[in-house]
Amino acid sequence: MLLNLLFPRNCYLCKKPGLYFCTSCQKKLPIKKHQYRNNPELSISLFAYTPAIRSALHDLKYRFVTDLAQELATLSTKTIKTHYKDFLVHWQKQNFVFLPVPLHRHRHNYRGFNQTEILGKLIAKNLKLQYKNLLIRSRPTRPQYKLSKKERLQNLKKAFSFSKKEHPAPQNYLLFDDIFTTGTTLSVCCRVLKQNKALNVHFLTLAR
């Protein structure tokens, strides 16, 4: 396979061939064993944003190493089932809908995929949660990490909307993104969901 020739499947931590995160090194990944409250949404991040996780997400997003997604989704699922089992039971019983943060269509067309959607579909399937794409990125935005707090809010003003194809009944949502930086994107998406009959919105990110 061409992808394996260009990007050999070596462990990001020990460089051992075979897996991107070998069995031994999976145990060394720093787990976020606590959750956060954000006005007043529940926010859970699974891993610390270490160099290994940062490199993996960078390769997935910008070097198009898409077979990484399956391993990251498996790691995420295992972490949730081990450290957040009570929350998982709650999400399942309360019929939370797993919802990814969308890309604008221009960036999606350039990249060919949305890494958050790919990861989200796999994680939702593993967790037995319903998965939907209900949010639309209505206009292109600048990268958030380059901006001040004030600029981030202005950057995301009217950037998201709810799909007009949906006529939502009141629902619970598990809003998913790959990285939690300031939480501004998730908060803006949450506001759109609350304006469209969301009951509860929980945040889930792979790294923080």
pLDDT tens digits for range 87-135: 999 999 999 999 999 876 656 545 666 889 999 999 999 999 999 999 9
Flag whether 21 is in a domain: no
pLDDT in tens, 57-97: 999 988 888 889 999 999 999 999 999 999 999 999 999 99
CA dist., res. 181 & res. 161, Å (int): 21
Region 172-200: what's the mean pLDDT? 91
Flag whether 31 is in a domain: no
Distances (CA, A) of 170 to 26, 80, 130, 133, 192: 38, 25, 15, 16, 13
What is the CATH number for 109? 3.40.50.2020
CA dist., res. 80 & res. 69, Å (int): 16
Coil, helix or strand at residue 22: coil
Q: Does residue 14 have a pLDDT over 70?
A: yes
Distances (CA, A) of 139 to 31, 100, 133, 194, 203: 34, 17, 17, 20, 22
Flag whether 25 is in a domain: no
Could you give the number of structural domains in the chain? Answer: 1
List the domain range (segments joined by +) for residue 198. 36-207
Mean pLDDT score of the chain, rounded to an integer? 85
